[in-house]
Amino acid sequence: MSNSEQITDPTSYKAIWNLAWPQILMMMFHFFIGFVDVWVAGQINPNVQAALGMISQTSMFFFVIAIAIGNGCVAAISQSLGAGLHDRAARYVGLVVILGLFCGLCISGLGWVFRHVFLGILQTPEEIYPIAMYFLKIYLVLLPVYYVFIITNAVFRAKMMVFVPMRSIAIVAIVNAIADLGFGLGWFGFPEFGYKGVAWATLLSVAGGTIYNFSVLVGSEILVKRSFAPLRWVRCALPYLVKVAAPAGGTQALWHTGYIVLFAIVASLPFNAVEALAGLAAGMRIESLLFLPAFAFNMTASILIGHFLGAGNKVEAKRVGLRILGVACGIMSLIAIGFWPFIQPMAKFLAPEPGVTVQAAVYLKYNIISIPFTVASMTLGGIMTGAGATIYNFWVYSSASWLVRLPVAYVLGHLVFKDAEGVYIAMLISQAFQSTTMFYIFMRRDWYRFSMVKRKNSTAPAV
């Protein structure tokens, strides 16, 4: 499937699956990239693994704007195509690519100037400081390219060309694995550079994926001369992009900050804090694998909803939204049931120390129970993104994190249970709150009004 014209009935289960499975595979490649990086770093020495983990996790803050622009891109382009306004869609392609490159360069420059301050804020241990600084420098050099990579993948998803980002992520995964093993460990007759080789593997692989994306953009005539609109059009079109991207960026920032606070709550528990922290980290690794299909349904929802609302078809948008929600929750619930007997073995595999195994297993137990709620909120978040209603995601996700999860986690973890189980119960409660609130908005609120349907006083240009 390369474009929307090949989907005869976008509301069918077949169409939903045809959009979802390449994105599930794409998320599997994402997981594989991180797994290889961590494994190779661990083979070099623990300090390299610690430095890589620290920079990889905290660097997500650098990508907040790229992800936000990507969300705006999916909404604007998919709705434009749904409305049959192909010139407007083409111009949005040019706009988001230029905007992504510009923002990537700006953030890279700021990060470079304040790189020592950044590592200082993270309280980077002295023994890993030089390694962490090297990783940070390479990531900052790569940042503009990475921004373009993220945004061009969003362009292809908006156009329902889901096989292109799947292939580009596959290229990144393969190049990264070869370069990690080769330059990091000296396999295949390559020169061994240790942690520097791991850092350069990331740069080379992402650059390769970005080159592939650009070759498809140009070769398929998606990025053409008419994609670069005059400034007058940009001034009219940019407000809608910002309207969608700004709340999406705020959601990402507050969500990631919330996780940092959650780690602090776990780290300061009255009993077994160290084991709980290690168990949480191990459990989250398994969780990230389990939720790969859910991310794919999130992206599928944003694509289809954008196309239907662009065409002004609210009824079909809601219908396909409910259908995706049912498929996502059904599939993920079956996965949860199948995984339940393996909670203890998986926890022991990733965290062999007995105390940590117990903590990881408890985390996974509550996480598996929360799967229907988590998947529902993720899918509904994708629906709101496709509609351009990211402001709902911002308020609901932020409220669930800062007004429910964190206060309840502190009360249950520090005052009631006095261990990590109280924190995990709080996470379950927050997911239930988040999903039910999002479902209420989906069923009862006028979230359609955030789309660029053809009406008077529209916030986006017609062409």
Q: Buried (b) or exposed (e) across 330-355, using 16+ Cβ within 10 A?
A: ebbeebbeebeeebeebbbebbeeee
Number of neighbours of residue 374 by Cβ within 10 angstroms: 26
The percent helix, strand, coil of the chain (3-state, each to 5) is 85, 0, 15
Question: For residue 456, with 0-12 CB atoms within 10 Å meaning exposed, 13-18 middle and 19 or more buried, which class applies?
Answer: exposed
CB atoms inside a 10 Å sphere around CB 457: 4
Domain ranges of the chain: 7-229, 247-463
pLDDT of residue 354: 83
| Strands in 105-216 per DSSP E | none
- Contact in structure between 189 and 144 (CB atoms under 8 Å): no
- Token pair listed for 404: 């429910």
- Rounded average pLDDT per 10-residue block, the chain, 463 residues: 49 80 89 85 82 77 88 90 89 94 94 89 80 92 95 94 94 96 93 92 96 94 88 90 91 84 83 77 74 87 92 91 93 91 84 81 91 94 94 95 95 91 94 96 93 55 54
Contact 387, 82 (CB under 8 A): no
C-alpha 442: how far from its chain's center? 22
Provide the pLDDT for residue 147: 95
**Contact residues for 292 (Cβ-Cβ < 8 A; gap 6+):** 24, 27, 28, 30, 31
Q: C-alpha angle with apex 63: 373 to 449, nearest 5 degrees? A: 55
Quote the pLDDT of residue 218.
Answer: 92
By CB neighbour count within 10 A (0-12 exposed, 13-18 middle, 19+ buried), where does 39 fall? Answer: middle
Residues 118/139, Cβ–Cβ less than 8 Å: no
On whether the CB atoms of residues 385 and 393 are closer than 8 A, the answer is yes
- As a whole number of angstroms, the distance between CA 44 and CA 41 comes to 5
HSE-up of 354 (CA within 13 Å, CB side)?
0
